Amino acid sequence: MKTIFSDYISSKVQDTLQSDFQNDSGKYVPFITFSREYGCGGDHITQRLCSVLSSCADSEGKVCEWKRINHEVVAAAAEEIGVPAEIVKEMTYQKIDDYFVSSFFNFSFSKYSKPSIATVRNAIARVIAKFAQEGRVIILGRGGASITRHYENSIHVRLHAPIEWRVKQVAEREKITIEKAKILTQKIDSERYALRNYFEGTASDKTIFDVIYNSMTLSEDEIIESILAIARKKGFIS
């Protein structure tokens, strides 16, 4: 449950994020962000898409390497803040109220003082913005679309599917029961949704995505072909 205090902290962070990132609408080298509901995949399809894009010529006839960005965001943010990557990974999706509880109990037992959630998430936003500005990257998750939604030369992709289908995928992949898979799926969905809300400063807006695919009804090949068609239309590749 949200509290007045957590609402206040979140509102203050929005002011910082808006001044740091939302006013930056320059034109960059092309990049793609991938957002997904838990259980829709994302890892394999972004690896395949990155490989295909790296074999395509751009609008000037040059073949340029594309990179897939995932855990690199955590590592770079951790280096910037000066804490282990495990702390950044843990705090990325941590609720504000839970942070204060865990900080109180862990304060005397760790050689690292925990940074604030705002510090961690602002570092993540800066890292993602930097990758986007460098271009020719596919940024997977961590609010990438929310952070870069005002940047030009981008394609923001969202994967979704009915929760019943996603729960079955998670249960098979993790080798757990349907009941446990449902709890895990709902938990991670909630965490990802909250992170997007944090960066957007409001309820998550689906209109920031250029295209939304149903992972249950569309194959990886169909999704990749569709994204490539959009990339050609935008001049990312020829």
Number of domains in the chain: 1
Within 13 A of 178's CA, how many CA atoms are on the CB side?
Answer: 4
Tokens, residue 10:
């979140």
Per-residue pLDDT at 74: 94
For residues 184 and 174, the answer to whether their CB atoms sit within 8 Å is yes
Structure confidence at residue 10 as a pLDDT band (50, 70, 90):
very low
Structure confidence at residue 204 as a pLDDT band (50, 70, 90):
low
150 found inside a domain: yes
160 found inside a domain: yes
Beta strands in the chain (DSSP E): 31-36, 67-69, 137-140, 154-160, 211-214
For residues 66 and 134, the answer to whether their CB atoms sit within 8 Å is no
For residues 22 and 147, the answer to whether their CB atoms sit within 8 Å is no
Tokens, residue 180:
């446990």
Quick one: average pLDDT of 211-233?
A: 97
18 found inside a domain: no
Is the pTM here over 0.75, yes or no?
Answer: yes
7 found inside a domain: no
> Which SS3 state, helix, strand or coil, does residue 57 take?
strand
94 found inside a domain: yes
Looking at this protein, which amino acid is placed at residue 86? E
Domain that holds residue 109: 27-234
Q: Which CATH number fits the domain that encloses residue 107?
A: 3.40.50.300
17 found inside a domain: no
Residue 219: how many CB atoms within 10 A of its CB? 10
Q: How far apart are CA 26 and CA 165, in angstroms?
A: 39
22 found inside a domain: no
Mean pLDDT value across the chain? 84
103 found inside a domain: yes
